[in-house]
Amino acid sequence: MDGKLKTPMQLREIIVITDGRSNIGDSPAGAARIAHRKGIIVNTIGITDSDGAEEPFVELDGIARAGGGICDIIPLPRLGYSVQMVTRQSIQMTIERAVSRQLQKITGCSMEDIPPDSRARVLEYIQRLGDEVDLKCVVALDCSGSMKNKIRTAKNSIQDLLISLKARKGRSYLGMVAFPGGDGRDSRVVSTFTDNFEELAVKLEGIKAGGPTPTYAGIMLSSRLFEEDNLGLYPAEMIAQRQIEAGEHLPQGGNENPFIL
């Protein structure tokens, strides 16, 4: 966390999509904090059955806070829109924070303390960066029993997110984790990072809903997807998939984040 912006820059985001509280495993906010320390932003989207009922979603707000991300609570029909907005705004916010911190260091004042007319040029720069930066994003999808009738919409939203991300100037890769993972596993990698729409669509087909809501495990596995990727010696996607599926212990340390905030 030394506030340096290194190039080539790559943003790392996790988006947790769920319709309820975690009911098995450790505190999900703890997992988000661990991920955030590694330079990953954790965002949350909560699906409500009725508009405005935010009570069960205090936990999601806590996860987003601990993960340095955004929390959005929405009814199911707005999921597609929300997934895109949260991703886009999270990218923007992450860069904004980094630039703002630099600004604070250099000039002693934050973006808030600059009149809008002078701020414009910095914001323009931030916006351009937001479109040009490379992005790796993992969607962690709640596949518990209560999600049964929401899975279809969720799948469509995830595919649609990739369409939107591919329109950016920077490269974008989407990964996907399901929690629980089916067959008694608390989580599973559905797809490692890919920018191939068809490939993702095929893998999404295999998702089925059922079981409890192990949000902690979902976030932990999502952040591990990035770690594996950091090794960079082999096609990272393949190693991650193989090792995670085999449940092997993952090597720790020695991985430097290409993008440190």
Partner 1 sequence: MIKRINIEPGTVIRGRWYGGEYRVIALLGSGGTARVYLVEDIPGGDRYALKLSTDMAGIDREYRILARLGPMDNIPAVLYRDDCRVGGINCYFFVMTYFEGENLKRVCEAKRMQPKTLVKIAAVTAGICLWLNRRGVFYCDIKPENLVLDKRGGGLCLVDFGGAVKEGEAVVQFTPAFDRASWGRGQRTADEGYQGFAILMMLAEMLLGGLRDTGMGFDALLDTIDKSQLSKGLKKVIIKGLKKDCQSLEDLINSLSNTADLIPGGKQRRRQRLDVAINLALLASIAFFIMVIAVIL
Among 160, 182, 212, 258, binds partner 1 (CB under 8 A): 160
Please say which residue, 119 or 203, places its beta carbon nearer to partner 1. Answer: 119
Among 41, 126, 138, 204, binds partner 1 (CB under 8 A): 126
Phi, psi of 164 (to 5 degrees): -65, -45
Residue 220 CA to residue 207 CA, distance in Å, equals: 19
> How many C-beta atoms surround the C-beta of residue 214 within 10 A?
24
Among 13, 59, 96, 229, binds partner 1 (CB under 8 A): 96
Among 120, 202, 238, 250, binds partner 1 (CB under 8 A): 120
Provide the minimum distance between the beta carbon of 115 and partner 1 in the complex, in angstroms, as a whole number: 4
User: Does residue 76 come out as left (phi exceeding 0), alpha (psi in the -120 to 50 range) or beta?
Assistant: alpha
Is 234 a residue that touches partner 1 (CB under 8 A)? no
Among 8, 23, 107, 127, binds partner 1 (CB under 8 A): 127
Q: H-type helices in the chain, by residue range?
A: 28-37, 58-66, 79-107, 116-132, 151-166, 197-205, 215-231, 236-246
Please say which residue, 92 or 196, places its beta carbon nearer to partner 1. Answer: 92
Which structure tokens are listed for 128? 């351009």
Is 196 a residue that touches partner 1 (CB under 8 A)? no
> How many C-beta atoms surround the C-beta of residue 193 within 10 A?
20
At position 94, the amino acid (one-letter code) is T
Among 166, 195, 206, 251, binds partner 1 (CB under 8 A): 166
At position 169, the amino acid (one-letter code) is K
Q: Where is 191: in which H helix or E strand?
A: strand 188-194
Is 108 a residue that touches partner 1 (CB under 8 A)? no
Is 163 a residue that touches partner 1 (CB under 8 A)? yes
Please say which residue, 7 or 118, places its beta carbon nearer to partner 1. Answer: 118
Among 5, 9, 89, 196, binds partner 1 (CB under 8 A): 89
Of 83, 61, 76, 55, the C-alpha closest to 147 is 76
Of 53, 51, 46, 52, the C-alpha closest to 28 is 46
Is 124 a residue that touches partner 1 (CB under 8 A)? yes
Task: Name the one residue in this structure whose structure tokens are 């369409």.
Answer: 163
Q: Please report how the helices 79-107 and 151-166 are oriented relative to each other, as an axis angle in degrees rounded to 10.
A: 50
Is 88 a residue that touches partner 1 (CB under 8 A)? yes
At position 103, the amino acid (one-letter code) is L
Stretch that binds partner 1, among 8-16, 21-29, 57-65, 117-125 (CB under 8 A): 117-125
Is 171 a residue that touches partner 1 (CB under 8 A)? no
Provide the minimum distance between the beta carbon of 92 and partner 1 in the complex, in angstroms, as a whole number: 6
Is 103 a residue that touches partner 1 (CB under 8 A)? no
Is 92 a residue that touches partner 1 (CB under 8 A)? yes
Which structure tokens are listed for 182? 């089916």
Residues forming the site for partner 1 (CB under 8 A) = 80-81, 84-85, 88-89, 92, 96, 111-112, 115-116, 119-120, 123-124, 126-127, 131, 160, 163-164, 166-169
